[in-house]
């Protein structure tokens, strides 16, 4: 049964990859994301974070042997659509309503497109009759929001720094004004001085547009700053779920204790602030 009151619902979700029949990248995960909720997913490399993000973004393999993550057990519903093996209609719907920022998105921008063409491409592909001037204005608003000067709009990716390319990718992932935004390491390559303002602006955009978000990171401090709730994955298994302060303050699992220690090293804060 689909939970009509939730944006995302997974029940006992297990995900694997072709050629790895005995290994599930995600195992038995139960997760619910409410409308407007900001959820962070944290875990070590190989914990299953990116796999979970891709499935929730509608990128699960549709046919046996197809490349990409394959749901091998349980169920997943995104915006009311079953997404275990999304068909053509579900894929189109999720592509329009879920903004997806994959890992290393900034490194994979279309080389032959300018910044404004890159950001507006998903919008114009969805609706070829969309006014290009209006599309450009929407792109300019997003580029400004992620702390980029509008002077770069006619530049190509190879003319930008790694951090600038990553912020262009963020703008591109938000151009369709999605109901759900899934971001895998959104601040990777973004310098420390710019990271805070970019995260704050993303929170402002989310509050203004009231979309739900799933943000993947390995950084507990980033999770606490940007999310209302943190999910911890370890070797594909969900081992903790709750407000960051609650999860890190009294951890039961050794890996979560390591996250708490890492948070202290990065921030110098022993006790986390109360969850927002």
Poorest-confidence range of 73-82, 83-92, 209-218? 83-92
Domains of the chain: 8-267 (3.40.50.300)
Whole-model pTM: value is 0.89
Name the band, by pLDDT with cuts 50, 70 and 90, for residue 275.
very low
Q: Which residue has the higher pLDDT, 21 or 259?
A: 259
Give pLDDT, residue 263: 60
Give pLDDT, residue 262: 65
- Evaluated on CA atoms 121, 93, 198, 270, the torsion sign reads negative
Name the band, by pLDDT with cuts 50, 70 and 90, for residue 227.
confident
| pLDDT, mean of residues 193-218 | 88
Give pLDDT, residue 136: 95
Give pLDDT, residue 5: 83
Q: Which residue has the higher pLDDT, 215 or 62?
A: 215
Give pLDDT, residue 276: 46
The answer to whether 211 touches 143, Cβ cutoff 8 Å, is no
Q: pLDDT of 176-202, one tens digit each?
A: 999 999 999 998 888 878 888 888 888
The pLDDT mean for the chain works out to 87
The answer to whether 52 touches 41, Cβ cutoff 8 Å, is yes
Q: Which residue has the higher pLDDT, 137 or 189?
A: 137
What is d(CA 47, CA 239) in angstroms, rounded to the nearest whole number?
Answer: 11
| pLDDT, mean of residues 72-76 | 94
Give pLDDT, residue 252: 75
């Amino acid at each position: 049964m689909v939970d009509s009151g939730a944006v995302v619902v997974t029940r006992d979700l297990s995900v694997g990859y072709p050629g790895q029949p005995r290994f599930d990248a995600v195992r038995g995960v139960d997760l619910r994301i409410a409308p407007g909720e900001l959820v962070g997913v944290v875990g070590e490399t190989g914990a299953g974070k990116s796999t979970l993000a891709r499935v929730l973004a509608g990128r699960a393999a549709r046919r046996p042997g197809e490349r990409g993550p394959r749901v091998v057990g349980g169920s997943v519903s995104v915006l009311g659509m079953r997404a275990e093996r999304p068909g053509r209609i579900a894929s189109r719907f999720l592509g329009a309503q879920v903004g997806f920022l994959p890992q290393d998105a900034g490194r994979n921008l279309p080389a032959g497109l300018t910044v404004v063409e890159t950001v507006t491409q998903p919008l114009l592909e969805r609706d070829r009759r969309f006014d290009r001037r209006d599309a450009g204005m929407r792109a300019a608003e997003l580029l400004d929001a992620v702390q980029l000067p509008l002077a770069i709009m006619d530049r190509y990716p190879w003319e930008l720094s790694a951090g600038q390319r990553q912020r262009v990718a963020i703008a591109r992932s938000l151009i369709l004004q999605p109901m759900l935004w899934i971001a895998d390491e959104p601040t990777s390559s973004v310098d420390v001085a710019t990271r805070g303002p970019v995260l704050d602006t993303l929170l402002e955009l989310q509050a203004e547009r009231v979309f739900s978000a799933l943000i993947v990171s390995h950084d507990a401090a980033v999770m606490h700053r940007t999310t209302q709730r943190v999910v911890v994955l370890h070797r594909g298994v969900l081992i903790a779920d709750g407000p960051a302060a609650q999860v890190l303050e009294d951890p039961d699992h050794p890996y979560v204790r390591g996250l708490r220690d890492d948070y202290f090293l990065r921030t110098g804060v022993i006790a986390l602030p109360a969850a927002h």
